[in-house]
Structure 1
Amino acid sequence: MKAMRVKNGLKISVIIMFIFMYGCKQSSYKEFVMADAVEVSESYEIVEEKEMTYKLNSNQTNVPLNLKIIKTASSRYKVKNIVTATRRIKIIAQKHGAYISDLRFQNDLYKKENRFTIKVPQKYFDTVMDSVNTVVDFVEYENITTKDVTEEYIDIETRLKTKLEVKARYETILRKNAKTVEDILLTEDKLRIIQEEIESAQGRLKYLTNKVAFSTIQIDLYEPVEYKAEPETYTKTFWDETKQGFANGWWYIKSFVVVLINLWPLLIIGLVTFFFVRKRLKK
């Protein structure tokens, strides 16, 4: 009887342990499934971000490449040494295929100032502006403007093409259909007018092409100098008076020689008279 109770107790214990282990496996399995769900959602969000980035980049590349833009800039900078800064900016300009169109230097009691204009290829416009900033000490102002002339450029090109076609038709009429003198003169007058319009359109296209190809950068450099008041009186040193004396003596010599040259007729008459009187006195 006692053995049966012990045996039944062992069976019950084994059953309870089996149920407990089975419950633990089910709970761990549920946690594992939840972790998989989280990983799937995170990867899905990453895919969406990549797709959005790709769409933005693809939209940014749709900018037209044949725009005709005229760029101009005006700037003013403070430098320590205006001669050194000007030389370094010239080297930067030459390195990028640019050239200086005009230059004006001014020196007064307060500052040294140098103003010049650079014509730079449009593709190097930003590069030259950034390079100039590395040379100067202080940027007082920088003004950059752009002008879109694409519409005007296309309009002139279209009109020019039409005028060339009209000119070709007038030339055909002049060769084949103009029989009388009046017809010939009338056709030639039309050709002259259309040729002037063509040359005007070609000149405007050339001007716009040059303005688009080369941007304009106007640069003002200034170097502050210590103010020195002008003296009210000035006392010459011995060396200054000596130099002035040599200069005055040379001026007197030149003046005397010039006077003799101007009086050469009187000198000749005087010499002739002197020898004539002397000869008479001897007799």
Structure 2
Amino acid sequence: MKTTYITLSLSAVLLLGISSCKKGEVASTEPEAYASADSTATIVSDSISSVATMKVKDKQFIKTADINMEVKDVYNTTLSIEKSVQDLGGFVVKSNLQSNIVSENTYNTSNEEAMLIKKYQTENTMQVRVPTEKLGELLTLVNNNKLFLNSRSVNAEDITASIKYAEMEGKRNQKTSENIGQLKTDKDKVKLDDENMAEGNIQKLTSMDTTDNLKYSTVDIYIKEPKLRIAEIAITNTSSIDNKYKFNFIYQVKEGFVYGFYLIQNIIVALINIWPLLLIAGIGIYFFRKRKTAKHEQSKISE
């Protein structure tokens, strides 16, 4: 019994050793076959997630990546990434480079000159597409520009089942078209044929999008500079110019006389426009005073 136990133990150890050796051989020759969409494993040679280069027999994946990192110079890094994408046979979908101003101050250096100081931080939001087989290479080239990597995600969506389903739907659509063709031509047949063709067009469009996404991987890249930059811009001293022309005594006096003259003219014209009212008011005042005078004289006589 003891001999049998020892024999079984040695056999188990031997099998474990063989299994470990085989796993090591497979990992060294074809590690991408064991990668998954949420894998955190990296390839030592280029420090890129194995998801980017993953290949599994009888499986098809749509691969995407999202990178957020800090770089020394956003503008130069943008040019470098765009050139790398073109060299790999890809293209840039979007590149939105902008400088966010943190502060802006003006300092006068003389009566005529001043210096505008801007503190800003440059960033760029990019979206590029590269052939899927070149995704790992692009991620390596982008990674070479980093100062600090904030985050990076690489995803591989398995759409094998979706492709099979799309093929079955295409066959069903074709069969439906053949069945409709056998119907007697009338208004209902035309409607059915039109609906079937519309469904077929949607399936073709979906198939084209899927094929394109399989062929080209989409990579979203956000880069920024870790520190603020300072721009010194020579400008004119506007304060001295404003003070120089803010008040001119002789001109203001002249303008005052002109304004007063026109004001008198406007008053005279306004009075002329309301002469009927002035006439009525004058007559009213005249009769009011005359009546008041008559009453006063009458009161004196009565006394």
Shift in Å at residue 65 of structure 1?
A: 2.9
Q: 1:117 to 1:236 in 2, by over 3 A?
A: same
Alignment partner of 2:178 out of 152, 158, 168 = 168
Cα separation, 2, equivalents of 1:134 and 1:52: 34
CA 1:56 to 1:169, structure 2 compared with 1: closer, same or farther past 3 Å?
farther
Worse-matched range after superposition: 204-213 or 65-74:
65-74
Which residue matches 2:207? 205
- Other-structure match for 2:127: 117
The size of the alignment, in residue pairs, is 188
Map of 1:75 onto structure 2: 67
Return the alpha-carbon distance in structure 1 between the equivalents of residues 237 and 20 of structure 2: 85
1:98 and 2:86 correspond? no
RMSD in angstroms over aligned alpha carbons? Answer: 3.9
**Distance in 1, Cα, partners of 2:24 & 2:161:** 29
The TM-score, its normalising length taken from structure 1, stands at 0.55
- Find the residue that maps to 2:146 and give its secondary structure: coil
Structure 1: segments with no counterpart, 5+ residues: 1-44, 242-283
| Shift in CA distance, 54/78, structure 1 to aligned 2, threshold 3 Å | closer
Give the superposition deviation at 1:203: 1.3
User: Residues 128-168 of structure 1, C-alpha deviation per residue, up to 9 Å, x if partnerless?
Assistant: 00111112222122122232222222112111111112212
Question: 1:90-239, aligned counterparts within 5 Å?
Answer: 90-107=82-99, 108=101, 109-171=119-181, 173-174=182-183, 178=184, 183-223=185-225, 224-226=227-229, 235-236=237-238
Please show how residues 40-79 of structure 1 align to structure 2 within 5 Å: 49=18, 53=22, 57=26, 64-79=56-71
Q: Return the letter of the residue paired with 1:208.
A: T
Q: CA deviation at 1:210?
A: 1.5
Q: Structure 2: 5+ residue runs without aligned partners?
A: 1-13, 35-54, 102-118, 243-303
CA 84–64 in structure 1, closer or farther in 2 if over 3 Å, else same: closer
Q: SS of the residue aligned with 1:206?
A: helix
Query: AA paired with 1:157?
Result: E
TM-score (norm 2): 0.52
In the alignment, the residues of structure 1 paired with residue 224 and residue 24 of structure 2 have an alpha-carbon distance, to the nearest angstrom, of 49
Tell me how far apart the structure 2 counterparts of residues 112 and 72 of structure 1 sit (CA, whole Å).
25
Shift of 1:197: 1.2
- Cα distance change on mapping 1:137 and 1:237 into 2, 3 Å: same
Query: Which protein has the bigger helix share?
Result: 1
- Secondary structure class of the residue paired with 1:110: strand
1:255 maps to none
Q: Of Structure 1 and Structure 2, which has the larger fraction of its residues in strand? A: 2
> Identity, % of aligned pairs?
16
After superposition, the Cα gap between the structure-2 partners of 1:226 and 1:94, relative to the gap in structure 1 and judged at 3 Å, is closer
Deviations along 1:70-106, one digit per CA (max 9) or x if unpaired, are: 2222212222222211111111111111111011111
Alpha-carbon spacing, 1:206–1:78, altered in 2? closer, same or farther (3 Å) = same
Larger Rg: 1
One-letter amino acid of the structure 2 residue matched with residue 146 of structure 1 = A
Q: Give every structure 1 segment of 4 or more consecutive aligned residues whose post-TM-superposition deviation is greater than 6 Å.
A: 58-63
Per the TM alignment, residue 64 of structure 1 is displaced from its structure 2 partner at its CA by: 4.2
Partner Cα separation in structure 2 for residue 236 and residue 226 of structure 1: 25
How far, CA to CA, are the matches of 2:94 and 2:73 in structure 1?
A: 20
